[in-house]
Structure 1
Amino acid sequence: MSAKFNSLVLSACLALMAGLAHALPPALAQTPALEVLGKGTMRWFGLKLYDAALFTPAGAPWQAGAPYALELRYARAFEGEALARSSGDEIARQGVPQAEIERYVELLRGVFPDVAAGDVIVGARRADGGASFWHNGRPVGRIDDPVFARRFFGIWLAPTTREPALRRALTKEGR
């Protein structure tokens, strides 16, 4: 094999590995520094939907009232509308009134873009309690409602989540 071919293969492998690394948007790489606490995969009837990673302040356990970020790396394409509606359905499971669900879905329609396989959406719970969102590192919106943020992130992180194994993998609780 030629040295040029080997160099191309090495470059391609490094690029692929870089794409798999967890990297928060630059706006989240501020004090306090956030580090991956836990990772897991969401599957539905055996189909991989996304890989998730929970970021917390360096060395700190997950706390619902502290800043943190949740990264979802999609394994398949979804329309933003479907993401907003399914988020609303999951929030409804928390016993939230329908009028609030409709308001939340409308807010999420303004935040969630269509995603392709490999796309990343990061949602962050800010210190003020609100939520900010990024798609592939670019800001796509913020929702300045702490109750919304608690309910939204509760989809994955509340004790009543539909996916308790994913919650345990993300938060490292119960291990």
Structure 2
Amino acid sequence: MNRPVLHTVSAALVLAVGCMNLLPANAQATAPEPTLSAALQDKTPVGKARLRYWGFDVYDASLWALPGFDARQFESQRFGLELAYLRDFKGADIAERSIDEMKGLAAIEPAQATRWTQAMSKLFPDVKRGDRITGVHVPGSGARFYLNGKLLGEVADDAFSRLFFGIWLSTKTSQPRMRETLIQGIAGTTR
């Protein structure tokens, strides 16, 4: 697979995993739900989009949220983003590409980028076609990740979570058409 496809896809897999505990001193941790159904108990699918890159189908993304979800303020709301993979990818490549995508959204201190990259590289599994990885944004706490409905772990760092989910939901995303497709079914959302 060529490198540009791998890089775009690797950003997606970051969503797929995250058994990191990068707990800031002021964060209030709550125990993650052991299953995806518990983590998203009151959420419903509000949008779906397929990522295609250079003619390759990469994954189908589904956004899970409460009615009234506001994409302009995604950072302040709990939601889930599921990626159903259509190809196989290496976890280490995903970590590298995810940091690149996050840097496109905001400045990240080099030391922080190094810590996040190292942690993701150690923890991200290789993803196989058919795997479903869902990330749940927990405002003020971080990101929780589920593989095929079972808890993988969490990145207990709110800054990481905001930038990570910004890969898909920020107005600065590198995939604006995908963002528009994911949020187009949300009533009353100004893009």
Normalised to the residue count of structure 2, the TM-score between the two structures is: 0.72
Hey, what does 1:142 align to over in structure 2?
Answer: 154
Hey, what does 1:75 align to over in structure 2?
Answer: 86
Greater Rg by CA: 1
Letter in 2 for 1:27: A
Quick one: distance in 1 between partners of 2:167 and 2:40?
Answer: 24
Letter in 1 for 2:132: V
Hey, what does 2:62 align to over in structure 1?
Answer: 53
Quick one: distance in 1 between partners of 2:183 and 2:141?
Answer: 19
Q: Does 1:166 align with 2:178?
A: yes
Q: For the structure 1 residues 111 and 139, does the alpha-carbon distance in structure 2 shift closer, same or farther, using more than 3 Å as the test? A: farther
Offset of 1:71 from its aligned partner?
0.3
Aligned partners of 1:34 and 1:57 also within 8 Å? yes
Deviations 1:74-111 (A, max 9, x none): 00000111111111111121232332222222232344
Quick one: distance in 2 between partners of 1:60 and 1:148?
Answer: 21
Quick one: distance in 2 between partners of 1:156 and 1:60?
Answer: 15
Moved more, 56-65 or 165-174: 56-65
Residue aligned with 1:161, SS: coil
Aligned partners of 2:98 and 2:164 also within 8 Å? yes
Q: For the structure 1 residues 58 and 47, does the alpha-carbon distance in structure 2 shift closer, same or farther, using more than 3 Å as the test? A: same
Aligned-residue RMSD, C-alpha: 1.9
Aligned to 1:119, which of 98, 108, 131? 131
Residue aligned with 1:60, SS: coil
What is the count of residue pairs matched by the alignment?
Answer: 150
- Identity across matched positions, percent: 35
Q: Does 1:91 align with 2:102?
A: yes
Quick one: distance in 2 between partners of 1:111 and 1:128?
Answer: 22
Residue ranges of structure 1 left out of the alignment (5+ in a row): 1-23
Hey, what does 2:49 align to over in structure 1?
Answer: 40
Normalised to the residue count of structure 1, the TM-score between the two structures is: 0.78
Moved more, 159-168 or 57-66: 57-66
Offset of 1:120 from its aligned partner?
0.6
Aligned partners of 2:58 and 2:87 also within 8 Å? yes
Residue ranges of structure 2 left out of the alignment (5+ in a row): 1-34
